[in-house]
Structure 1
Amino acid sequence: MHPTLLKQLNLWHNRNKYKEIISTILELPEEGRDYELVCHLGRALNNEDRYNEAIAYFLSVQDEGAADPLWHYRLGYAYYYSGKYEAAVAAFEHALELEPDDQDSQMLLNWSRNAVNKEALGSDSADQIRGEKREVNDEELAPFKLVSHDNGSLSLILSVGSYKSHIFEARADEGFEGNGYDWASLAAVFLDEKMPELVSIINFDPEAGMFAAYTSNQEAMVSFAAAFKEACENDALIGDLFSRAELD
């Protein structure tokens, strides 16, 4: 691939301009699209929720992608979000065979296996199964707030104060104040026990007056944000989790 074109494609990707990537690559003659270009195209189609098209393009370079863990990951991503969960399981398993430490592939493999199991039980709709990618609005998350950053990462923030202050007051004699660090300790227990697949993906960067979690995996953050807020609204659950939080 021409280095100038590659630089432009990466720039568009970082700025979430996926339509520009797709149109530019599709304007090229088919014989001029090498493996790397097709993978850029497939990734952009994934980001535009055009999963079946992405699958077709990824499979068109299947032989070249066989030894590339990123190809398997992107194909699995397209399978997962198009509801082809068994195919997604196979793709993520191949990705992990090639790159065993890839946390994103492991997380999505877990989600895919759960989706297969839920389909077998027939107990959840497709929307419920794919809840990790659900959209949440500001009102639903308040007083937490999701903040997008120019680098593509996503943060969940909370200006600490009166929200759930009684939870922290229960252990005030131990030094808990309900500050940002205490919220991070609580969130860490929540992740460990309720969403262990996200432990290595969600990061914390609190300050005294603010709780902050961040990650470059937007689907993981939305999933965490919705689940953590729901847990916070259950005083019995969040109180039990906080009983195991450690003072920072």
Structure 2
Amino acid sequence: MENNDRNEGNELEKELKKQLDLWHKKDKHQNIINTISDIPEAERDYSLVSYLGRAWNNLDNYEEAIACFLSVEDQGASDPLWHYRLGYAYYYGGKPEAAEAAFEQSLKLNPEDQDSQMFLRLSRNAAGKQPEHLLSANLAAEAGFPEEDKLAPFQLVSHNNGSISLILNVGNYKREVFGARAEEGFEGNGYDWASLAAVFLQEQKPELADVIRFDPEADMFAAYTDNKEAMFSFALAFKEACENDALIIDLFSRAELD
């Protein structure tokens, strides 16, 4: 009987986490919070607490996220993802020094994590430890790239491993484009921007489709590659497309909800 009870419990746990993953994909973060909050704290394992902290992050409640992650600090000490999510909460919660330390630890545990590399650079920049521009003027000049203000609100971030990212902290920029398909579930989050960028690549820059990769978060669109020239080409062309209302609306009409 005890084994049967344990097996039943494991199945219920699997179903719960499957549902949590589905809600996360559909940006229903409050559902995640409500469901886990109904479970007594003593019965929440490390995985559930991680789901809860991530949901708080995605709802921009960074103080709750920080408290959530710190409640399982001992268990998260050897988990690079725990350090990344804590750093994410610190960064967007206006604590760049704490974010920097978290991302440094994440990279010690997983040196190849490009997200942590990018956020480490952003955290250092926010803490005043990097030059004003995320991408050095020399690097841009060497590649024949125009001034960075032509990309705003997008930003280029170069990484120590030689890769380069294009990021956008989503907000009001082109909100009306996504609002036109709000009834279908589009919200203008990082995943929606990635869907739009994918259509742009396929139709406008097919030669870069196998070079540019996307790794969005709810609050941020991110594209990356090891090919700087390809990134410069994509970044400038995508920004120009975004400023062409007729073109960007037409491209977005074929974007698929992630």
Which residue of 1 is the match for residue 105 of structure 2? 94
Determine the C-alpha separation between the residues in 2 that align with 1:229 and 1:180.
8
Amino acid corresponding to residue 137 of structure 1 in structure 2? K
Distance 1:111 1:49 in 2: 18
Give the equivalent residue in structure 2 for 1:221: 222
Q: Of 34, 56, 65, which aligns to 1:54?
A: 65
Q: Which residue in 2 is equivalent to 1:133?
A: 169
Output the TM-score relative to the length of structure 1.
0.59
Kept after mapping to 2: 8 A contact 1:43/1:54: yes
Runs of 5+ in structure 1 lacking a partner? Answer: 122-127, 162-178, 185-203, 207-212, 234-248
Q: Does 1:4 align with 2:15?
A: yes
Q: Indicate conservation of the 8 Å contact 2:215/2:223, yes or no.
A: no
Q: Within 1, Cα distance between the matches of 2:194 and 2:78?
A: 28
> What does residue 180 of structure 1 align with?
205
Residue 67 and residue 27 in structure 1: after superposition, are their counterparts in 2 closer, same or farther (change >3 A)?
same
- The structure-2 alpha-carbon separation of the partners of 1:140 and 1:44, relative to structure 1 and needing over 3 Å to count, comes to closer
Structure 1 residues 42 and 148 mapped into 2: Cα distance closer, same or farther (>3 Å)? closer
Distance 1:102 1:149, change over 3 A: closer
Local SS of the residue matching 1:21: helix
CA 229–82 in structure 1, closer or farther in 2 if over 3 Å, else same: farther
> What is the deviation of 1:6?
1.4
* Aligned Cα root-mean-square deviation (Å): 4.1
- Per-residue displacement from partner, 1:51-108 (whole Å, max 9, x unpaired)? 1100001001101100000000000000011111000000000000001111111111
Match of 1:41 among 46, 52, 60: 52
Identity of aligned residues (%): 45
Instruction: Measure the CA separation in 1 of the matches of 2:125 and 2:190.
Output: 30
- TM superposition shift of 1:140: 9.2
Question: TM-score normalised to the size of structure 2?
Answer: 0.57
Contact 1:45/1:51 (8 A) holds in 2: yes
- Cα distance in 2 between the residues matched to 1:50 and 1:96: 25
1:148/1:155 contact within 8 Å kept: no
Letter aligned with residue 205 of structure 2: G
Structure-1 separation of matches of 2:107 and 2:201: 38
* Bigger RCO of structures 1 and 2 (CA < 8 A, at least 6 apart): 1
- Return the letter of the residue paired with 2:79: D
Q: Shift of the alpha carbon at 1:41? A: 0.2
SS at match of 2:112: coil
Q: Within 5 Å, give how 1:90-129 maps onto structure 2.
A: 90-117=101-128
**Which residue does 2:256 correspond to in 1?**
none
- Choose which of 181, 192, 195 in structure 2 pairs with 1:154: 195
